[in-house]
Amino acid sequence: MNPALNVGSAPVATPWFFYGLAAAAVISGLLVITRRNAVHSALALIVTLLSVAGLYLMLYAPFVAGVQIIVYAGGIMVLFLFVIMLVSIERTVKERQFNRIWPIGLLASCALLALFLTAFKKGQSLFPNRVAPLPEALNTQGIAAALYGEAGKMGQYTFAFEIASLLLLVAILGAVIMTKKKI
Amino acid sequence: MVESLMSYLGSTVPPSNAGNQLWALIYILIIFAGVSVAVMAMNWIERKALAHFQIRLGPMRVGPHGLLQPIADALKLMLKEDIIPDESDKAVFWFAPIIGLLAAFTVYIVIPFGPSQAVSDMNIGILFMLGVSSLGVLGIVTAGWASNSHYPLIGALRSSAQMVSYEVAMGLAVVSAILMTSLNTGTGTLSMIGIVEAQRDQGIWFLFKFFPLGLIAFVIFAIAMVAETNRAPFDLAEAESELTAGFHTEYSGLRWSLFMLAEYAAMIAVSSIAVTLWLGGWMRPFPALLHGPAWEFIFSLFPGLTFAALAGFAFLGTIRMPSHSFFKIQRIGLGAFGLVLAFIALLLFAIAVAGRGDNANLAGRFREGIDYVYWFVLKVAVFMYLFIWYRATWPRYRFDQLMKIGWKVMLPISLGALIATAVVGVLVK
């Protein structure tokens, strides 16, 4: 590690970064559900995901931000676009919405908002009063230690992590088996 | 002003880590200008080299040996009519080249041209590079879709399928190099500078580490990076025999040139990843074997010698120019170009001589920095030449062949190399 790395200095990220990123995330999130053109929705979703990656960076979680960009914005959204591009846009733009589930969606998002507001108001008592952001230079290594453990002993989350990876493996095998007609 | 300018000189960490925004901005401007000039030079070299591969002359008219051709082309593209098809999706069509350009240039933030010659030393350096460069495909996909035309759409589909497939093998190859950084210390690193420092501490380029394992991972990456940048022989997305020009068929003028700029910038960026991960980044050859003040001095003469050789070529061209009066201006121009190169060579020699021995004074710092950047750029330049060589040598793959190689050959090999690296690493330790 670099000794001259000044971790303790004032952070460059100011509240204005947060307001900008949050506004970008919310506005593009609204665009995702209001645009009739599916490709525009997908592009707005990419902007949302990138803004959320920026918010992760502000929370001193660069690894999660990097993974967010690489997996969601770079991988999954490209596959989304790959499929959506083949949809005939002219027809879908003219077509009226045929399901009537938006009241349920509104209700669900109101419930989520209420939950967030409660958490915000009671935050002090709900969460442990511990703000220990790892210095940027040790963040990824900290994640590695939590997932895989230090030399010789198991990490805090090793078991859960391995179970999750097994689940993903099963999902991959399932996808292969379902798409292949004969194996 | 002068103080804040001088404040950074002598620092051993990148400006962003030293908290110096001014120098971070200066570095960004230098890198932006340098990459743009490199793209122009690459454009000229590619046309000349391809022409010579095919026993043609290539551009000869604008300037001596066509040296001013890239500038003429850039001017032409800027003045050309900018056509946006009537049925296209205007906003997306307008924005698509910008996405590609942003993705291609953002990755330069973390490329280490030297231990302190980078804009930033991010903890997630290599992850950031892979992530942001994978956003480049969005530019291609949206361009193909927004054109609202058949060939661009097919080109975009091909390119997205190709990039998603080759990213997997590429990522696994990168992981096996990152594993190697953890060998002696116990904890690895994702930082680009940390990766080069790990190679320095272990005293070996990762290319030769656990021979053939490092080499296998490197070859997988070297193939995947050609596919990632949509270059021949993997340029299915713009296969001109089948798709006119692929995803940028409907683009013209400045927007088209933005795509070209993004493509070449992305080529330089992925070459930089390969150089950083496997070829020792900014380190000169044999830093451990041939050390000492004498060797340091000899190696620090290399930048000057390179420019002197280039000046020599220019002067040779001046002599070999036909003595017809038509070539008088070209001869003067080439001679002036040679003089400029010779002046740069003299300057580099002067810095090498003035800064020899110690790196405490200003000249010493300059000498050191020039050495780092020179070796890094030289290694990247080899890759850029390879890109041209591939293009001139190999025929284009068919799309099913491309997918077969990506999924059935490269992915298992890189996965096997990764597992073998992990096993050997544990055994050696």
Domain extents in chain B: 83-283+397-428, 295-374
Among chain B residues, the shortest Cα distance to A77 is held by B138
Give me the residue from A4, A6, A62 closest to B12, CB to CB: A4
Measured in angstroms, the CA of A72 and the nearest CA of chain B are apart by 10
pLDDT of residue B381: 92
CB < 8 Å to B12, chain A: 2, 4
The Cα–Cα gap between B72 and A90 comes to 42
Q: Is residue A130 pLDDT above 70, yes or no? A: no
pLDDT of residue A133: 59
CB < 8 Å to A69, chain B: 128, 131-132, 134-135
The Cα–Cα gap between B375 and B205 comes to 14
- Three-state secondary structure of chain B: CHHHHHCCCCCCCCCCCCCCHHHHHHHHHHHHHHHHHHHHHHHHHHHHHHHHHCCCCCCCCCCHHHCCHHHHHHHHHHHCCCCCCCCCCHHHHHHHHHHHHHHHHHHHHCCCCCCCCCCCCCCCHHHHHHHHHHCHHHHHHHHHHHCCCHHHHHHHHHHHHHHHHHHHHHHHHHHHHHHHCCCCCCCCCCCHHHHHHHHHHHCCCCCCCCCCHHHHHHHHHHHHHHHHCCCCCCCHHHCHHHHCCHHHCCCCHHHHHHHHHHHHHHHHHHHHHHHHHHCCCCCCCCCCCCCCHHHHHHHHCHHHHHHHHHHHHHHHHHHHCCCCHHHHHHHHHHHHHHHHHHHHHHHHHHHHHHCCCCCCCHHHHHHHHHHHHHHHHHHHHHHHHHHHHHHHHCCCCCHHHHHHHHHHHHHHHHHHHHHHHHHHHHHHC
Phi-psi region of B203 (alpha: psi -120 to 50; beta: other; left: phi over 0): left
pLDDT of residue A4: 38
The Cα–Cα gap between A149 and A126 comes to 28
The Cα–Cα gap between B391 and B137 comes to 21
CB < 8 Å to B156, chain A: 85
**In order along chain B (429 residues), what is the average pLDDT of each group of 10 residues?**
66 76 85 90 91 89 84 88 82 88 90 86 86 86 85 85 86 89 78 87 84 89 89 78 77 86 90 90 81 80 90 89 82 89 91 75 78 91 91 87 89 92 85
Taking CB atoms and an 8 Å limit, are B127 and A70 in contact across chains?
yes
Q: Please state, rounded to an integer, the average pLDDT across all residues of chain A.
A: 80
Cα dihedral: B5, B10, B11, B16 (round 10): 30
Among chain A residues, the shortest Cα distance to B121 is held by A137
- Using the structure block, give the residue that is written with the tokens 């070796």: B375
The Cα–Cα gap between A29 and B405 comes to 38
Among chain B residues, the shortest Cα distance to A82 is held by B157
Question: Cis before residue B212, ω within 30 degrees of 0?
Answer: yes
pLDDT of residue B345: 92
Confidence of residue A28 (pLDDT cuts 50, 70, 90): very high
The letter for the amino acid at A79 is L
pLDDT of residue A9: 44
For residue A148, count other CB atoms closer than 10 A to its CB: 14
The Cα–Cα gap between B169 and B287 comes to 31
Cβ neighbors of A49 (< 8 A, separation 6 or more) are A68, A69, A72, A73, A77
The Cα–Cα gap between B361 and B357 comes to 10
The Cα–Cα gap between B122 and B270 comes to 17
Structure tokens at B81: 């009519």
Residue to substitute from B110, B135, B181, interface A, most A β-carbons within 10 A = B135
Q: Is residue A125 pLDDT above 80, yes or no? A: no
pLDDT of residue B379: 92
Asked if residue B252 lies in contact with residue B411, where contact means CB atoms within 8 angstroms, the answer is no
Measured in angstroms, the CA of B145 and the nearest CA of chain A are apart by 6
CB < 8 Å to A141, chain B: 187, 189
pLDDT of residue A7: 42
Select from B60, B19, B81, B33 the least CA-distant residue to B261.
Answer: B33
pLDDT of residue B65: 82
pLDDT of residue B340: 92
CB < 8 Å to A6, chain B: 17-19
pLDDT of residue A128: 65
Asked if residue B71 lies in contact with residue B257, where contact means CB atoms within 8 angstroms, the answer is no
| CA distance readout (Å), B366 to B37, B223, B288, B297 | 21, 36, 22, 14
Confidence of residue A64 (pLDDT cuts 50, 70, 90): confident
How much is the pTM?
0.87
Select from B113, B117, B124, B129 the least CA-distant residue to B18.
Answer: B117
Taking CB atoms and an 8 Å limit, are B127 and A9 in contact across chains?
no
pLDDT of residue A5: 40
DSSP string, A91-126: HHHHSPP----HHHHHHHHHHHHHHHHHHHHSHHHH
Q: What is the average pLDDT across A8-13?
A: 50
The letter for the amino acid at B282 is W
HSE-up (13 A, CA, CB side) for residue B108:
22
Domains identified in chain A and CATH numbers: 15-133 (1.20.120.1200), 134-183 (no CATH)
pLDDT of residue A1: 33
